[in-house]
Structure 1
Amino acid sequence: MGRRSEGAMIWRYSCIYSLLLFMLVGSSRAQLMASFYDKSCPKAQAIVKSVIQQAMQKDSRIGASLMRLHFHDCFVNGCDGSILLDDTSSFTGEKTAGPNLNSARGFDVVDNIKSQLESACKGTVSCADILAIAARDAVVLDGGPSWTVQLGRRDSTTASLSTANNDIPSPASTVSQLISKFQAKGLSTQDMVTLSGAHTIGQARCTSFSSRLYNFSGTGKPDPTIDKTFLATLQKQCPQGGNANQLQPLDLVTPTNFDNQYYKNLQARKGLLNSDEVLYSTSGTTNSLVISYAGNQNTFFSNFQSAIIKMGNISPLTGTKGQIRKNCRAVGS
């Protein structure tokens, strides 16, 4: 074979390879799309928003709870609705995992949304997509930014208690542990600090941060980074030997407003969880981002829009994978 013929063949193979690679990448990007239900269930997003509006009028905490369900779902084998599955005699789901037990909530709201969607478009809208839409609507209704939700996820037929226990970041996490957990999901350090800003709404149980108040890192003393006045307030709300499930707002200043107050609190040494305060108390990228977001809410909002879309794209089930549950709590329903 002459050099010219050999070169031409190599060029053709190169073109074919490039085309296949382009098709592969293009198809992976096209797996989720904003218009997914435009024809099959055009009222889907309006139904989700309506149910959430009603729920938030009755319970101001529900917005944060729905946001958290989406986060805890995506961090366990991807955004596939696995967190919604109930335990059965032959199946163990994720609801009893440490990060979810006695704290994950909003399942009844998801049930209501699903019921209305089934009436409008039977067997069409997945539970995983409900969580993604609900997270967006909850943030918007609490005063935060909106974003275009990419849709087309399908629901898992499995769940993983062990993965929920291992992959969802602990409230006692250090910066390096947080970075590692997020990087394992394809999320950057900036994504991690940005998504942590969701703690500008919601509440946490005393058990999630009590060690900071009395026995930080086994020292028998409080965490020295906590503002002393804030520490006294927390110790009063969460006394030693008290109710471990007592709730405390993650943001004492504007607890139901999605804003950048969370980052201002960190600067004032008033972060509730260790995984919050270390973002500021640890020098480096996370500290710089906290300062940036505390000073510019628009920057936080813009980056949050990008980060939450990126998180919602973690390993979705699409095409013929998984199923569309009719009851979000049960496989094959």
Structure 2
Amino acid sequence: MAAKVILILLFTALSFLLNPSESRLTLDYYQQSCPQFSKIIQDTITNKQITSPTTAGATLRLFLHDCLPNGCDGSVLISSNSFNKAERDNDINLSLPGDGFDVIVRAKTALELACPNTVSCADILAVATRDLVVMLGGPYYNVYLGRRDGRVSKSSLIDGHLPKPSMPMSQIIEIFSSKGFTVEEMVALSGAHTIGFSHCSEFTNNIYNFSNSSPYDPQYNPRFAQGLQKACADYRNNPTLSVFNDIMSPNKFDNVYFQNLPKGLGVLKSDQSLFNDPRTRPFVQQFAADQNKFFQAFSQAMQKLSLVGVQTGRRGEIRHRCDQIN
């Protein structure tokens, strides 16, 4: 009996050694199974970004909203149905731009034609995000591959796990801390706002009738606040109205976002709080002064984020469509 148990244990260990990709991520995961993987992703994101310049910011935000709550499993891509309200229909995700979803669908369609049932939506999202950041002048960082797609996507699992612009900085820090991120890493990830945009509805409370003594939050640069008021004047009738998070270089991944904050040029309350809070201000100042330091910190934080809650092997699946569980 003991000999039989030993043989089973040896067989299990041998299986693990022969199939390491079943239980860990690697940089060359698709080298044999889908050698065109990188080129297909690159071609897809290039075409999409050229035709829709907001794609990079949209995809980066989609990636953050997928990974931070429950891990990088592509669950934010799943659509709701009559039996389930999915993550993407949680209030905080309703403003996720469509270009992010669209570029992943396009890449998945192309990869299914070239390598059926091979590449996960979670891996596509992770690599497309990195490649779009690089395309806009941001830093390159390694993305380990072999993720499986999650089989669960529930709106109720999102509440309290993503930062909101109106949250006090202590609460935002706690959200990232609970996932293992330092304050410096949180500030670096906030630098994602160097690209992308925010809907007017996310900050109108700060620019209209702020108090009896001021029509807008005095943390704003006065001319900037007046510009936001004009840009968002029709937001009640047009909820899609939005402004760039970085008004100085909105289509370039750089450190200008951090340089804007001391000047009162942060769009969201949470942006301004990064400079005004003594816990985060030193990192804002460091990143504003040294772009290489920001890029290094951002790369490390993004690589760390891309590994949060990853499912591998039989724990997940390779979805046939990114918006549906198999």
> TM-score, normalized by length of structure 2?
0.89
What's the CA shift for 1:163?
A: 2.4
Task: Give the equivalent residue in structure 2 for 1:259.
Answer: 254
Give yes or no for the alignment of 1:156 onto 2:155: no
What secondary structure does 1:40 align onto?
coil
Structure 2 counterpart of 1:307, from 301, 304, 308: 301
What's the CA shift for 1:221?
A: 4.3
Task: Give the equivalent residue in structure 1 for 2:178.
Answer: 184
User: What pairs up with 1:1-333 in 2 under 5 angstroms?
Assistant: 31-105=24-98, 106-216=100-210, 221-239=215-233, 241=236, 243-284=238-279, 286-332=280-326
- Distance change (3 Å), C-alpha of 1:209 and 1:157: same
Contact 2:84 2:154 in 1 (8 A): no
Q: Which runs of 4+ in 1 moved over 6 A?
A: 217-220
Structure 2: gaps spanning 5 or more residues: 1-15
Q: What letter is aligned with 1:279?
A: L
Alignment coverage as a number of residue pairs: 305
In structure 2, C-alpha distance between the alignment counterparts of 1:48 and 1:91, rounded to whole Å? 30
What's the CA shift for 1:49?
A: 1.1
What's the CA shift for 1:187?
A: 1.2
Contact 2:122 2:147 in 1 (8 A): yes
Q: What letter is aligned with 2:147?
A: R
What secondary structure does 1:165 align onto?
coil
The percent of aligned pairs where both chains have the same amino acid is 39
Q: What letter is aligned with 1:59?
A: S
Once the two structures are superposed, what CA deviation does each residue of 1:246-294 show, in whole Å capped at 9, x if it has no partner?
A: 110101110110000000011111100111110001123x100000100
Contact 1:191 1:307 in 2 (8 A): yes
Contact 1:75 1:164 in 2 (8 A): no
In structure 2, C-alpha distance between the alignment counterparts of 1:218 and 1:127, rounded to whole Å? 50
In structure 2, C-alpha distance between the alignment counterparts of 1:220 and 1:242, rounded to whole Å? 24
Q: Which moved more, 1:171-180 or 1:290-299?
A: 171-180
Contact 2:61 2:96 in 1 (8 A): no
- Distance change (3 Å), C-alpha of 1:168 and 1:216: farther
RMSD: 2.0
Q: What letter is aligned with 1:300?
A: F
What's the CA shift for 1:220?
A: 7.2
> TM-score, normalized by length of structure 1?
0.87
What's the CA shift for 1:242?
A: 5.4
What's the CA shift for 1:158?
A: 0.8
Once the two structures are superposed, what CA deviation does each residue of 1:281-310 show, in whole Å capped at 9, x if it has no partner?
A: 1123x1000001001001000111100000
Task: Give the equivalent residue in structure 2 for 1:3.
Answer: none
What secondary structure does 2:87 align onto?
coil
In structure 2, C-alpha distance between the alignment counterparts of 1:301 and 1:182, rounded to whole Å? 19
In structure 1, C-alpha distance between the alignment counterparts of 2:192 and 2:316, rounded to whole Å? 29
In structure 1, C-alpha distance between the alignment counterparts of 2:44 and 2:96, rounded to whole Å? 21
What's the CA shift for 1:244?
A: 3.6
In structure 1, C-alpha distance between the alignment counterparts of 2:59 and 2:254, rounded to whole Å? 17
What's the CA shift for 1:67?
A: 0.7
In structure 2, C-alpha distance between the alignment counterparts of 1:243 and 1:121, rounded to whole Å? 42
Once the two structures are superposed, what CA deviation does each residue of 1:162-219 show, in whole Å capped at 9, x if it has no partner?
A: 2223211101122111101111111111111000001000111000111111244898
Structure 1: gaps spanning 5 or more residues: 1-22
What secondary structure does 1:99 align onto?
helix
Task: Give the equivalent residue in structure 2 for 1:12.
Answer: none
Contact 1:95 1:104 in 2 (8 A): no
Q: What letter is aligned with 1:305?
A: S
